[in-house]
């Protein structure tokens, strides 16, 4: 999605583009390439914040840190289904996290509910997800 399009939404805060080496580090450390849609978005802005500072899309550094933590934290691994098939990229500010499916590779966006460990489909693409989340009017727009 183009920077100009993102700025059309109320309350959106964009950052400078992610450094190429930061994106490459995410791919190297996670052992998988980023979906083109997420890579393109990070080339526009290294994360996106919406109303009240909610990070709808994390920075490349946070994408790496959060995915490493979820995949390798022994306590989390004993409580939840495996996180390896997912690539988490943002959250709703209340604990639910958004992810793209990497195994098998899909463009769909899912939400992980941290209380129930459910993984529910919410959008057919990152672009559609951004339009819904930034124009949705509430932190849990996807629960409707």
**22 inside domain:** yes
Q: Is the pLDDT of residue 50 over 60?
A: yes
In-domain check, residue 122: yes
- Residue 139 pLDDT: 57
Look at residue 30 and tell me if it is in a domain.
yes
For residue 91, being part of any structural domain is answered with yes
Q: Name residues whose C-beta falls within 8 Å of residue 40's C-beta, 6 or more positions apart in sequence.
A: 1
In a domain? residue 66: yes
Residue 26 lies in a domain: yes
User: What are the tokens at 137?
Assistant: 């009017």
- Residue 89 belongs to some domain of the structure: yes
51 pLDDT more than 60? yes
> pLDDT of 93-139, one tens digit each?
888 999 999 888 889 999 999 999 999 999 999 999 998 888 865 55
Q: The domain that contains 68 carries what CATH number?
A: 3.40.1580.10
Segment 4-16, tens digit of pLDDT: 888 888 888 999 9
CB contact at 8 A, 68 and 115: no
Q: Tell me the residue range of the domain where 133 lies.
A: 3-137
Number of domains forming the structure of the chain:
1
């Amino acid at each position: 999605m183009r920077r100009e399009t993102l700025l059309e939404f109320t309350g959106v805060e964009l950052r400078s583009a992610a450094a190429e080496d930061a994106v490459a580090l995410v791919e190297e450390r996670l052992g998988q390439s980023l979906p083109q849609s997420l890579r393109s978005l990070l080339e526009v802005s290294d994360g996106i914040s919406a109303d009240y500072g909610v990070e709808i899309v994390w920075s490349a550094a946070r994408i790496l840190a959060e995915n490493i933590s979820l995949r390798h934290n022994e306590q989390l691994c004993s409580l939840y289904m495996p996180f390896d098939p997912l690539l988490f990229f943002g959250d709703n500010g209340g604990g639910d996290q958004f992810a793209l499916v990497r195994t098998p590779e899909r463009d769909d966006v899912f939400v992980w509910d941290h209380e129930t460990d459910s993984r529910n489909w919410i959008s057919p693409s990152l672009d559609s997800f951004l339009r819904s989340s930034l124009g949705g009017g509430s932190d849990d727009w996807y629960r409707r």
